[in-house]
Amino acid sequence: MAAKPAWATRTSVDPESACPIGPVVDIVFSRWTTPILWSLNEHGRQRFVELERRISTITPKVLTQRLRQLERDGLVVRTYHPEVPPRVEYEISELGRSLAPLFAHLAEWAAVNLEQVERARHDYDAQPGR
Separation of alpha carbons 70 and 73, rounded Å:
5
Single residue of 21, 48, 50, 89 touching its own copies by CB under 8 A: 21
Q: How far is the CB of 121 from its own copies (least distance, A)?
A: 5
Minimum CB distance to its own copies smaller for 3 or for 84: 3
| 22 sits near its own copies (criterion: CB under 8 A) | yes
| Min separation Cβ 130 and its own copies, Å | 9
If the CB atoms of residues 34 and 89 are measured against its own copies, the closer one turns out to be 34
DSSP result, 46-113: EEHHHHHHHSTT--HHHHHHHHHHHHHTTSEEEEEE--SS-EEEEEE-HHHHTTHHHHHHHHHHHHHH
